[in-house]
Amino acid sequence: MAARALEWGIHPAVVVEPTCGVGNLLLAAAEEFLAAKVMGYEINPEYASLARERLMGVDACARLVDITVADFFGLQSNDLTRGFDRSILYIGNPPWVTSSAIGALGGENLPVKSNRTGLTGMEARTGKSNFDISQWILERLSQELRRKSGWLVMIVKTSVAKKVLHSLWSADVPIARSAIVHIDANEWFGVSVAACVLMVEFDGRAGPKETDVYRDLAAVSPSHRFGLVAGLVIDNPDQEHPWMSLVAKASNPWRSGVKHDCRAIMELSHVSDDVYVNGEGTHARLEPHFLFPLVRATELYKGTLWNRSRFVLLTQRNLGEDTAAIRYQAPLTWDYLNQYAARLRNRGSSIYKNQPEFAVFGVGDYTFTDWKVAVSALHKSPRFRILPPTALGPVVVDDTCLLYACRSADHAQLILQLLESELASQYFAALMQDEEKRPLKSSMLTNLSLERLAEQMGLKAAFHQVAASETRQIEMF
């Protein structure tokens, strides 16, 4: 890795590792960059003292080593480089864990809740605030290098490397050049996840919003390039792709499914008459008013659709709606919810704070339309499905799925035909990144112009017919 950095022309005045562990990487850097000062930060005092001891053993840099016990998230940017503001090399393999995983474990090793990349409102508070800690660290270091100059050479999950580049390019942070060098994480760390060394150079110049991708550390020339086109990151951005004409910002009203963060209680199977059983095996008598047929991502993907027994309890029809009336409209449901009130109040996500009791998210008129086209966001190839209404109400999907509310069966059929076209398949294949946990992003759907797709497929007239009625529908939302 250090040799690769040298080949890239990196000659640092100071090498800094923000989460340096027992100093393996710093040791390698100290041996390679003999003239550089070496600094490390580590939250675990035992690791820090071991790192210090090992680095002091490297004669050439004995006077230049500085290892500090510190929590990276509590450090101000100037604390990190202690007066150096040029030729700073940040190295490391920051922890590969997401903020919500740490939160779920009750851990406090988290950045102070700040608006990392300009996320707003719901985005910042829901799914998009579940980010990789390493991503946060890299973005924070990049912001610092933007003001100073230097390099990032970091081992991260490939998905994180791409997200970091995407966010820097989108925010117009000047990057002189960058590279992604794939590594075998199984061999290095015994984990089976796509990983790479991300190298980024900051010197005030803004190079093209593209990065060279190398197959492995031994590769001399890049296998391909990866870059930003129309706000989306894709492979081979310099080539002309037929689907590129379909990209149009926020042109479709795709939505996430419902979110309640308490599957064991809010999802129930029908037993008989008004008896249902929840995920904990507890039976309850419930009115049908607030229960809706539920389809999950895997069922959507497989096309098995509604299993005729699973329901979800939706306490609201719109965001923030008062839930107190449930007591009178459906007393059995009210009793059931109150039986689990403490659990529901303790749901981890901050989105439920200051909301009515038993609140859910991802609800609006679109949730309750009879006809929908829906897709799993979790699978690597999108399989769109029509969800027709049932005798027991409209079918809803959970927040691992995305949905398009339709006015009628014909409308749903047309939308499905467009999404299943060859051109749309090429669009999704180009944009979806295999290494992502949720490969299908809502932006990929909202930025796909169904109107242009319809034009290219000779379905313009049919599309405009449904689009006219669709506009009226969106105004209602």
Ligand X SMILES: C[S@@+](CC[C@H](N)C(=O)[O-])C[C@H]1O[C@@H](n2cnc3c(N)ncnc32)[C@H](O)[C@@H]1O
Find the shortest distance in angstroms from Cβ 110 to ligand X.
8
Do the beta carbons of residue 256 and residue 396 sit within 8 Å?
no
Find the shortest distance in angstroms from Cβ 455 to ligand X.
51
The structure tokens 């924070």 sit at 140
Find the shortest distance in angstroms from Cβ 25 to ligand X.
4
Do the beta carbons of residue 211 and residue 182 sit within 8 Å?
no
The angle at the Cα of 188, spanning 222 to 132, to the nearest 5 degrees, equals: 80
Among 24, 130, 304, 307, binds ligand X (CB under 6 A): 24
Is residue 47 part of the contact set for ligand X (CB under 6 A)?
Answer: yes
Is residue 132 part of the contact set for ligand X (CB under 6 A)?
Answer: no
With contacts defined by CB under 6 A, name the span among 15-23, 264-272, 278-286, 422-430 that binds ligand X: 15-23
Residue placing its CB nearer to ligand X in the complex, 185 or 268: 185
Find the shortest distance in angstroms from Cβ 20 to ligand X.
5
Among 4, 32, 49, 73, binds ligand X (CB under 6 A): 73
Applying the rule CB under 6 A, the residues between 417 and 476 that interact with ligand X are: none
Among 15, 30, 37, 92, binds ligand X (CB under 6 A): 92
Among 5, 10, 14, 23, binds ligand X (CB under 6 A): 23
x-or-dash string of contact with ligand X, 94-113, rule CB under 6 A: -x-------------x----
Q: How far is CA 358 from CA 260, 315, 322, 347, in A?
A: 9, 7, 10, 10
With contacts defined by CB under 6 A, name the span among 22-30, 161-169, 194-202, 380-388 that binds ligand X: 22-30
Is residue 141 part of the contact set for ligand X (CB under 6 A)?
Answer: no
Is residue 43 part of the contact set for ligand X (CB under 6 A)?
Answer: yes
Is residue 340 part of the contact set for ligand X (CB under 6 A)?
Answer: no
Residue 368, number of CB atoms within 10 A of its CB: 17
Residue placing its CB nearer to ligand X in the complex, 48 or 419: 48
Q: What is the largest CA-CA distance in the chain?
A: 80
Among 33, 72, 292, 384, binds ligand X (CB under 6 A): 72
Find the shortest distance in angstroms from Cβ 426 to ligand X.
39
Residue placing its CB nearer to ligand X in the complex, 64 or 378: 64
| Cα 210 to Cα 229: distance, rounded to the nearest angstrom | 9
x-or-dash string of contact with ligand X, 182-201, rule CB under 6 A: --------------------
Find the shortest distance in angstroms from Cβ 81 to ligand X.
16
For 434-444, letters b (16+ CB in 10 Å) and e give: ebbeebbbbeb
For 75-92, letters b (16+ CB in 10 Å) and e give: eeeeebbeebeebbbbbb
**What 3-state class would DSSP assign to 448?**
strand
Find the shortest distance in angstroms from Cβ 140 to ligand X.
11
Is residue 22 part of the contact set for ligand X (CB under 6 A)?
Answer: yes
Residue placing its CB nearer to ligand X in the complex, 24 or 223: 24
Is residue 21 part of the contact set for ligand X (CB under 6 A)?
Answer: yes
Q: How far is CA 477 from CA 52, 123, 317, 455, in A?
A: 60, 19, 12, 26
The structure tokens 């990209």 sit at 247
End-to-end CA, the chain: 53
Among 16, 42, 255, 316, binds ligand X (CB under 6 A): 42
| Cα 460 to Cα 452: distance, rounded to the nearest angstrom | 8
The angle at the Cα of 204, spanning 198 to 207, to the nearest 5 degrees, equals: 60
Is residue 39 part of the contact set for ligand X (CB under 6 A)?
Answer: no
Do the beta carbons of residue 38 and residue 30 sit within 8 Å?
yes
| Cα 47 to Cα 50: distance, rounded to the nearest angstrom | 5
Residue placing its CB nearer to ligand X in the complex, 137 or 430: 137
Among 20, 168, 233, 414, binds ligand X (CB under 6 A): 20
Do the beta carbons of residue 101 and residue 129 sit within 8 Å?
no
The angle at the Cα of 96, spanning 94 to 98, to the nearest 5 degrees, equals: 115
| Cα 448 to Cα 72: distance, rounded to the nearest angstrom | 40
Give contact residues for ligand X (rule: CB under 6 A). Answer: 19-25, 41-44, 47, 71-73, 92-93, 95, 109
